[in-house]
Amino acid sequence: MSEAKTPTINFKQKAMELLPEGASFDACLTCGLCSSGCPASGLENMDPRKFIRMAMLGMDEELSTTPWVWTCTQCKRCQHVCPMNIDISQLVFLARGNWPKDKKPSGIVRSCELTRSTDSTSAMGLQPDDFVFVVNDVLEEVRETQPQFKDMVAPIDKKGAHFFVNQNSREPMSEPDEMVPLWKIFHLVGADWTYSSKGWAAENFCMFSGDEAAWYEVIKTRVDATNELGCAVWLNTECGHSYYTMWNAINRFGMEANFKIESLVTYYAQWIREGKLPVNSDWNTKNIKFTVQDPCQIVRKAYGDSIADDLRFVTKKLVGEENFIDMQPNRSANYCCGGGGGFLQAGMTDQRRAYGKRKFDQIMATQADYVLTPCHNCHSQMEDIGHFYGGQYQVVHFWTLICLSLGILGENERTYLGPDLANLGL
């Protein structure tokens, strides 16, 4: 372990600077809504209300060194329910950035370092040339084995394309066939899109490490790549935090972005409404039940309930309204699953699973067979807590179910389907 001493922050001063106009910490100390709705409450003997109280009491050394800042996912549910709209996550971000690098969770630090190691900005260190090779190799195989997609494209570095599409590194690195349903959707709707050999990756753990300079560096690579290609829309695919880290950084650092930042979820809903994605629930003859996880990063922290409504519109069209069971609470009030904020990479497995128990109980209460979520961290966390606590549900991407509904899901594109759906339509 490092012998470096963690510097202290004047948390009371910082908290006062962040306090919204007209708000009072006197009320904050007695309300308790933040702690009651925070799945991290009790971990490391800390909770949001206690964190603020300690700040007001000047307990700076304790707050500067508590490992609780790495169990808080900065999901902002505390702020969402706070009558004073106090953003405790910003204090947590300051505390994270204050830790010496070699005292921070090594997994988060390593992911940030890998993100900065190549022009791909991949947290798994996938080089641009390797990404290009994987995309072309998978595309060639699909064209050969699925004749109806012999004309499908997966462009890279296409100048002037409407959509600049990102991709979570997990797909090209370890699950390349999971990219194919997304390509099929673009092919079917006639989307004008491209990947870039630079800045294509979706993940960004530099923000979660509290390193603002590294966060800026990664986002600048992505902004420059999008500007260089002249794309109109930077399209975030089914990955939660990549949207928030991009959108937040551009605003925070005043970066010049000559494009809009959008989520694929809104386009799923738009294309279904326009008839370009003629999905239906006729395939669900067994009335298999589904629920939806609202990713904090794109719902509560970004779009708000409008994108949560789109998630439910798409889900009901895919599985049948009678086969959708919502979690309670939901939308912007939904609980964080515990996968975000770098928690998956932090190495604090026991704490992460304890945090996730509330989400597990939410899922089990729906009695759903499947959980749909457009977020990789949510996906991995809900799978893990499901196995750990003995749940029988499956977690699946939207692109998988869209292609299943359309009858175009290939044999190798069914990794996350259970035995009840794995062979459907083959």
29-86: pLDDT as tens digits? 778 999 999 999 999 999 999 999 999 999 999 999 999 999 999 999 999 999 888 8
How do residues 159-189 score in pLDDT, each as one tens digit? Answer: 999 999 999 999 999 999 999 999 999 999 9
Instruction: Select 278-406's CATH number: 3.10.350, 3.30.2320, 1.10.10, 3.40.50.
Output: 3.40.50
Q: What is the CATH number of domain 11-103?
A: 1.10.1060.10
How do residues 302-327 score in pLDDT, each as one tens digit? Answer: 999 999 999 999 999 999 999 999 99
Summarize the confidence of residues 97-107 as an average pLDDT.
95
Q: What is the model's pLDDT at position 426?
A: 83
Summarize the confidence of residues 115-121 as an average pLDDT.
97
Q: Which of 167-171, 198-202, 422-426 has the lowest mean pLDDT?
A: 422-426
SS3 per residue for the chain: CCCCCCCCCCHHHHHHHHCCCCCCHHHHHHHCHHHHCCCCCCHHHCCHHHHHHHHHCCCHHHHHHCHHHHCCCCCCHHHHHCCCCCCHHHHHHHHHHHCCHHHCCHHHHHHHHHHHHCCCCCCCCCCHHHHHHHHHHHHHHHHHHCHHHCCCCCCECCCCCCEEECECCHHHHHCHHHHHHHHHHHHHHCCCEEECCCCCECCCCCCCCCCHHHHHHHHHHHHHHHHHHCCCEEEECCCHHHHHHHHHHHHHCCCCCCCEEEEHHHHHHHHHHCCCCCCCCCCCCCCCCEEECCCCCCHHHHHCHHHHHHHHHHHHHHHCHHHECCCCCCHHHCCCCCCCCCHHHCCCHHHHHHHHHHHHHHHHHHCCCEEECCCHHHHHHHHHHHHHHCCCCEEECHHHHHHHHHCCCCCCCCCCCCCCCCCCCC
Instruction: Provide CATH 1.10.1060.10 ranges for the chain.
Output: 11-103
Q: What is the model's pLDDT at position 319?
A: 98
Q: What is the model's pLDDT at position 28?
A: 77
Q: What is the model's pLDDT at position 83?
A: 87
Query: pLDDT confidence of 1, banded at 50, 70, 90?
Result: very low
Q: What is the model's pLDDT at position 211?
A: 96
Instruction: Provide CATH 3.40.50 ranges for the chain.
Output: 278-406
Query: pLDDT confidence of 3, banded at 50, 70, 90?
Result: low
Its pTM surpasses 0.85: yes
Q: Which of 13-27, 146-160, 191-205 has the lowest mean pLDDT?
A: 13-27
Above 80 in pLDDT, residue 140? yes
